[in-house]
Structure 1
Amino acid sequence: MKRQFFTSLLMSIVLLAGKANAQANELKLQLENLVAQKNIPGMVVIIEQEGQIIFDQAIGYSNIEQKTPMSKDQRFRWFSMSKPVTAVAMLKTLHDQGLDVDVPLKTLYPNFDRDEKIPVSTIMNHTAGFGYGGEWNSFTGWLYWMFGPLERANSLPELMSKLDGIPLMSDPGEEFRYSMSSDVLGAIIQKVNGQRFDKYMHEKIFTPLKMTSTGFITKGMTDKTLAPFYRYDRESKSSIRVEDPTEWDKHVFSGGGGMTGTASDYMHFLRVLTNPAAYESFVAEDKLKQVVVNQLPANLPAIPETIYPKTGYGYGVGVKLEDEKYLNKNSYYWAGLAGTIFWVDPAKKLTVVAMTQLLGGRKAMEKSLVPMVYDWLETKQ
């Protein structure tokens, strides 16, 4: 009787494993078609649901010219997906110092000699009044171009010094403006902890969270472990190698766009946000929960629709304000310049990380991958 029971149990496990493999292969085939149709060099996709990895695959090539298959341990430039990581590092710094998010910038960085009171919370949600530059229709926009705080600074203190000479583009809390705020956070973290920003991140964030392949790229640095960088060429309708990806790199360790790492490392990071109670000794649970809820003031209910529609902003992440066809209300997400994306849908206990290196590939990835994943999950029911 026992032998019969264990035989039946083993057969059930084998059948379930076979079904799961078949379902995973079905999604892998769809992703291979996506890579071919959208001229995406290759990608790594990881899907976690209810705390379990249900899909983890590398698709296509990391190097098209050499036909190098994409690997699951491939490292990518994260660009703006660095911002949520820096936000958590800022919260950890505040947690360790016993401070609140509304502490004034000048308290933490006295050298930044401004009359305006700039709460750190407004820096974390891009309402402090900083910019990125490139706004040619204003005098302040021109000053960003002239001073080049992010483009020409060789250190974070120099970035802050240059930024100190530029007026705010709006009063704190008055306007959402996507900006170099995360780089300001990096400078604050460095100042408060008395440790170079990249070293602090390695010691206090990357290592404790098992982000073993995560680091920074700066101007002039050669990192052959990074995936080659491509752009879509409309004329040839193909992906063309960007010969000098360092054009996008900064001289400083950029909290807003300078991190590099694997998709797996990013999944490790997101678990801090999806299960904050398990990281209470790392950062207080109530502080971590602040990252993923809308932190915009009442006079700014959402970020501009040109960035994302029907979306609020937490600390480094966009937050869905209502249910949509796929993503549910309170889902949070962000993306990077070269097609790295992630989203978390708490209602479905779902976390997805997808990475490629295609300049401007974010929209193609989101438009195709989001419905593909949700439709695939339906077939798994």
Structure 2
Amino acid sequence: MKQATMITMAAALLATGAWAGQAEHAPRPTPQPSVRASPLPTTQALFDAYVRDGKMPGITAAFGVGDAAPVFVSAGRIADDSTVAAGPDTLWRIYSMTKPVTAMAAMILVEEGKLRLDQPVSDILPAFRTMRVLTDPANSLASRPAARPITIRHLLTHTAGLGYNIVTKGPLLGEYERLGILPGAANEAVEVQARRVRPTSLQAFADRVATLPLIADPGTRWSYSIGLDLMGAVIERVSGHPFERFLRTRLFAPLKMNSTYFAVPAAEAGRLATNYAFVGANRVPLDPARGSVFLRPPSFPYGGAGLVSSARDYDRFLHMLANGGQLDGVRVMKAETARLAMSNLLPPGVTFQGIGGGTGGTQGSGAPMGYGAGGSVYLADRAGGPSRGTYGWGGAAGTIAYVDPVRQTRGTIMVNYFPAERWLLRQEVPAALLRDLAR
């Protein structure tokens, strides 16, 4: 496969005119103001403006406080060429917001004693027993033996020394692409190329990853990675069930997350939003809903970036975490497990200072941050912002999710476009919410 990430390849296809006609003629949706007064009028006005100004075809958010039902705020439509309004049950590609889901599945196994945070991954996947570390990552694949084994904690916190095709550079990126270490989907055009080299099962994926050198000794550095994709293979091996089935039976079914999928069923395809990309000032369809790559099963379930979900469903996941592991009288994990998962789990001496660059992850905020199971954690109150202990993560197509355990609040914002940082949702939506709360 060429030396380019999947998203970069997709953008290149757009830039060379693969969707040129759509880029020139894509209709702009008309604003759809709410028929009834919104309980969050400033936020509603902001969303209406996003659509009116052509920044996005549609947007939906779910905000919750305590055990009250979530408040949904929506504007626009699921695609430029659709008449279907965006809403609580619209399906969006959540990309890296899959990571907290996979991490909580792993924490269930930690709670049950089937995993330990500081257990070597090689206990479960023996191929990882002898890992090596690059000595000159910018220029060669030369390596030395790793100082210590990769642990479950390292996979959960991106401190395993693993890379990621969306951020890795140098010769190692070439090896990731040659071996198909590409756990994600952009659109059908990119998928055709990725499937030529990508492994077809989680266990085959894990075996290939084990042959590659690390970018740093495990436990010494935060580096965004395929750790949560690899965790899917761990969960599969330890639980004795396919990873997707484990998520379905232990999280999605108990939480009534009935609109969360690795592949959208044909009967639900009409709810799927189109994913867009910006080429210069033009917003063009990257993965049109009608022919989306998410309408068919992936090569294997990507624990780091594979899920499609709705604002209603993801709010139920966050509500469970805010409630200490239970929702509507159904417990999926103990309160102490939920607290542990949303606490700073970084190895001693390792820090997290935010990440950007189109990943959708938490950016640097000036407030000290740590990293928990699959998501960032604020280590101090941020003036006018999140409380200490706020846990969350985002997705590459602009989605955002957080839980503030002090204020007992939670939020999910659903959009679909690349790059995630095209618009300042992370700054503008909280500011609008604060103005609404001040009323």
- Structures share fold, TM-score greater than 0.5: yes
Give 1:131 deviation, angstroms: 0.8
- The answer to whether the 8 A contact 1:156-1:252 is kept is yes
Q: How large is the RMSD of aligned CA atoms in angstroms? A: 2.8
Say whether 1:65 aligns with 2:81: yes
How many angstroms does 1:247 deviate by? 9.5
Mapped to 2, the partners of 1:22 and 1:230 lie a distance apart of 28
Structure 1 segment 289-308 matched on structure 2, within 5 A: 289-304=339-354, 306=356, 308=363
Matching of residues 10-49 of structure 1 within 5 Å: 21=37, 23-37=39-53, 39-49=55-65
Q: Which residue does the alignment assign to 1:159?
A: 205
Aligned pairs, number: 357
Give the deviation of 1:56 after TM superposition. 1.3
Corresponding residue of 1:372: 432
Q: Which of the residues 153, 156, 160 maps onto 1:124?
A: 156
Secondary structure of the corresponding residue to residue 40 of structure 2: helix
1:283 paired to 2:333: yes
Deviates more, 1:96-105 or 1:298-307: 298-307
Structure showing greater Rg: 1
Alpha-carbon distance between aligned partners in 2 of 1:65 and 1:288, rounded to the nearest angstrom: 41
What pairs up with 1:354-365 in 2 under 5 angstroms? 354-362=413-421, 364-365=424-425
2:405 to 339, 342, 346: 346
- Deviation of 1:350 after TM superposition, in Å, equals 1.4
**1:1-381 residue pairs with structure 2 within 5 A?**
21=37, 23-37=39-53, 39-53=55-69, 55-114=71-130, 116-133=148-165, 137-150=169-182, 152-217=198-263, 223-236=269-282, 238=283, 240=285, 242-243=287-288, 246=293, 250-276=298-324, 278=326, 281-304=331-354, 306=356, 308-309=363-364, 310=367, 311-322=369-380, 323-362=382-421, 364-379=424-439
Measured after TM superposition, the shift of residue 340 of structure 1 is 1.3
Unaligned 5+ residue runs, structure 1?
1-19
Deviation at 1:180, TM superposition (A): 0.6
Asked if the contact 1:45–1:354 (Cα under 8 Å) also holds between the matched residues in 2, the reply is yes
Partner Cα separation in structure 1 for residue 323 and residue 82 of structure 2: 40
**What is the rounded CA distance, in whole Å, between the counterparts of 1:233 and 1:247 in structure 2?**
22
Normalized against structure 2, the TM-score is what?
0.74
Please tell me whether the aligned partners of residues 150 and 250 of structure 1 are also in contact (alpha carbons under 8 angstroms).
no
What is the deviation of 1:232?
Answer: 2.7
The 1-side partners of 2:168 and 2:239 are apart by: 36
**Greater helix fraction, Structure 1 or Structure 2:** 1
Residue 22 of structure 1 and its aligned partner are, at CA, apart by: 5.6
Structure 1 residue identity aligned to 2:349: N
Give 1:308's aligned amino acid: Q
**Is contact 1:149–1:159 with CA below 8 Å preserved after alignment?**
yes
Deviations 1:317-351 (A, max 9, x none): 11123323322332222111112111222332211
Structure 2 vs 1, CA of residues 281 and 134 (structure 1 numbering), >3 Å: closer, same or farther?
closer
8 Å Cα contact 2:98-2:307 kept in structure 1: yes
Residue 183 of structure 1 and its aligned partner are, at CA, apart by: 0.6
Contact 2:77 2:83 in 1 (8 A): yes
User: Is the CA contact (8 Å cut-off) linking 1:153 and 1:159 kept in structure 2?
Assistant: yes
CA distance in 2 between counterparts of 1:308 and 1:191 reads 33
1:370–1:35 CA distance, 2 compared to 1 (3 A): farther
Q: Which amino acid aligns with 1:329?
A: R
Supply the distance in 2 between the matched residues of 1:277 and 1:304 (Cα, whole angstroms): 26
